[in-house]
Amino acid sequence: MKRRRVLSILIALVICAGIMLAPTPDGLTREGQNAIAIFGLCFVLWVANSLPLSVTSLFAIVLLPTLRVIPAARSFALFGSPVVFFILGAFILAAAMMRSGLSTRLALAFLRRFGGSPGQLLAGVVFSGGFLAFWMPSHAVAALLFPIVLEIVHALELRPNRSGYGRALLLALAWGAVIGGVATFLGGARNPLALGILQEHYDETIGFLQWMIAVAPFAIALMVLAYFVLSRACGIEIDDVSAARRALDVKARELGPLTNREKGVAAIMVLTIGAWIVAGQNMGLASISLLAAVSLFVFDLIDWQSVEEYVNWGVILMYGGAIAIATALHESGGAAWIAEVAITRLSGLPPFVMFLVFALAASFLTEAISNVAAVALFLPIAFGIAEGSGLSPIPVVFAVAVPAGLAFALPMGTPPNAIAYSAGYYRLRDSVILGAVLKLAAIGLLALAAKLYWPLLGIDI
């Protein structure tokens, strides 16, 4: 592990230095060349995961002014983008949901509603994960569902790596959370990050409700597909899930009645979502997010120690740095130059095909690196390519951000996959093969949505 870490850091530094020291190609500025060098360094470090993601971002924020790509004031100002504060507020809201137990209660309520048969229970796991990930980070959903799904497999006496149904349930845990996470700005910070990059590049925006209306139906349809893939491919070898129902009932009774704290958190969540929908464009998503976070403290629904325990502050560094890198690539002309090199290979492709190329590229890139890194690195380049091809930026955001959130195949592609895989109920080959099937199905479904549904919403390709 140490060897890999040192090697990957060295490779990243060599790539950065190599790009910087190379003769500057025609059409590329010195700033753009250095931006590409930093981009290369971040790419290697994020793929290899040799430094925490947030530390790589911090490195980039410092390198940008040091290598004279953008001034220091600009680099650090981007670190304070409204998107970063929206994400922070959303994470505090999620912390309140987890700390109060409201998220566990919602998960159990959903599962108990679906527990009539093995097929229903499997669907329940997919949809409870998906539904929760509409409103809180998908990795948090996977972590909270993990002990609940394990209770189910124990109650049904399913054996690791032997039971098809056990395999299906654990994959369902991961996939439900992953799919739900693309539907709104709350399920994964890659979506607001994409929004932030769009705002910096084009001064355009996508509203909370606009995103949800465009993507949630796709996500729901994909959850249905995921259920069918799992139930057919893994097989359901048991007939009766009443033991699982009883286990879920016990867990629900252990929670006790709904507390005032849970009611308060639920109320603030509902009001906040309403405010994002109704007032998001005027007030700004970040302001509403932070007001909601402050409200939690005003009404004594969370304490600061809980926020410290439940929120990972590295998220501020990560997303601030990601926006800084993406913006620097754009403003220095680095992204445009890469796009021009790429365009010579992709020129002549119709906009819809270009859309599919972006979606496929983001979809496979995200298996190798974190979702947010995939968006931060690929979206600026996709914008540059799209400019030359007549594809407008808003569909480009969906083409990159949505597939970048759909890592199904590799356990290390996204935390929900790693969480589910760690239980030992399925093998790597199960994840790779079935994940690849679902991934291709997802791209197909996205293409259908883009062709048939989005034009009705005014999103034209």
Partner 1 sequence: MLLLLSPARVSSVCVDEALEGAATSSAELVAYFILDTTISEELKKRIHDMGFLGDAPSDDFMKAMRREHELQGREQLERIGALAAERGIRFRSEFVVGDFLTSSLAAAEREHPEAIFVSRRERTVISRLMEGSAVRELEVSAPCEVLVHDEDDGLE
From candidates 33, 34, 54, 389, binder to partner 1 by CB under 8 A:
54
Q: Is 369 helix (H, G, I), strand (E, B) or coil?
A: coil
The footprint of partner 1 on this chain (CB under 8 A) covers a number of residues equal to: 49
Q: Considering only residues 12, 37, 48, 219, which one is a binding residue for partner 1 as defined by CB under 8 A?
A: 48
What's the rounded Cα separation, in Å, for the pair 240 and 115?
10
CB of 33 to partner 1, least distance (A): 29
Stretch that binds partner 1, among 4-12, 18-26, 247-255, 346-354 (CB under 8 A): 4-12
- By residue count, the chain amounts to 461
Q: Do 322 and 39 meet the contact criterion of CB atoms below 8 Å apart?
A: no
| Part in contact with partner 1 (CB under 8 A); list of ranges 222-230, 342-350, 417-425, 444-452 | 417-425
- Angle at the Cα of 29 from the Cα atoms of 27 and 338, rounded to 5 degrees: 60
Site track for partner 1 across 85-124, x = CB under 8 A:
------x---x--xx-------------------------
Tell whether residue 254 is a contact of partner 1 (CB under 8 A).
Answer: no
Token readout for 449 is 């949505």
Contact window for partner 1 (CB under 8 A) among 51-59, 215-223, 231-239, 439-447? 51-59
Distance CA 86, CA 451 (A): 31
- Those residues whose C-beta lies under 8 Å from the C-beta of residue 312, and which sit 6 or more positions away, are 91
DSSP track, 383-432? HHHHHHHT--HHHHHHHHHHHHT---S-GGGSHHHHHHHTT-SS-HHHHH
Pick the binder of partner 1 from 137, 187, 192, 333 (CB under 8 A): 137
Q: Cα dist. 222→120, 166, 229 in Å?
A: 17, 21, 10
Report the run of H or E that residue 158 belongs to, with start and end. none
Binding of residue 11 to partner 1 (CB under 8 A): no
Give the Cα separation of 111 and 151 in Å (integer): 12
CA distance 245 to 262: 24
List the one residue from 123, 318, 377, 385 that touches partner 1 (CB under 8 A): 318
Q: Is 237 helix (H, G, I), strand (E, B) or coil?
A: coil
454, amino acid identity: W
**Please, which of residues 354-373 interact with partner 1 by CB under 8 A?**
370
Q: Which two tokens stand for residue 438?
A: 């679902």
* By the rule CB under 8 A, 157 interacts with partner 1: no
Residue matched to tokens 């699982």? 244
Burial class (CB in 10 A: 0-12, 13-18, 19+), 102: buried
Taking the complex as a whole, the smallest distance from the CB of residue 414 to partner 1 amounts, in Å, to 8
Q: Note whether 427 binds partner 1 by CB under 8 A.
A: yes
Interface residue with partner 1 among 139, 201, 245, 330 (CB under 8 A) is: 139
Distance in Å, CB of 334 to partner 1, minimum: 26
Which of 432, 436, 437, 441 contacts partner 1 by CB under 8 A? 432
User: Is 303 a binder of partner 1 (CB under 8 A)?
Assistant: no
Among candidates 26, 37, 43, which has minimal Cα distance to 66? 37
CB of 437 to partner 1, least distance (A): 16
Distances (CA, A) of 159 to 149, 162, 433: 13, 5, 21
Question: Interface residues for partner 1 in 176-195 (CB under 8 A)?
Answer: 189
Q: Is 428 in the site for partner 1 (CB under 8 A)?
A: yes
Residue 150 binds partner 1 (CB under 8 A): yes
Per CB under 8 A, the list member of 383, 415, 435, 450 interacting with partner 1 is: 415
Site residues, partner 1 (CB under 8 A):
1, 3-4, 7-8, 48-49, 52-54, 91, 95, 98-99, 137, 139-140, 143-144, 146-147, 150, 154, 160-161, 189, 306, 308-312, 314-315, 318, 370, 410, 412, 414-415, 418-419, 422-424, 427-429, 432
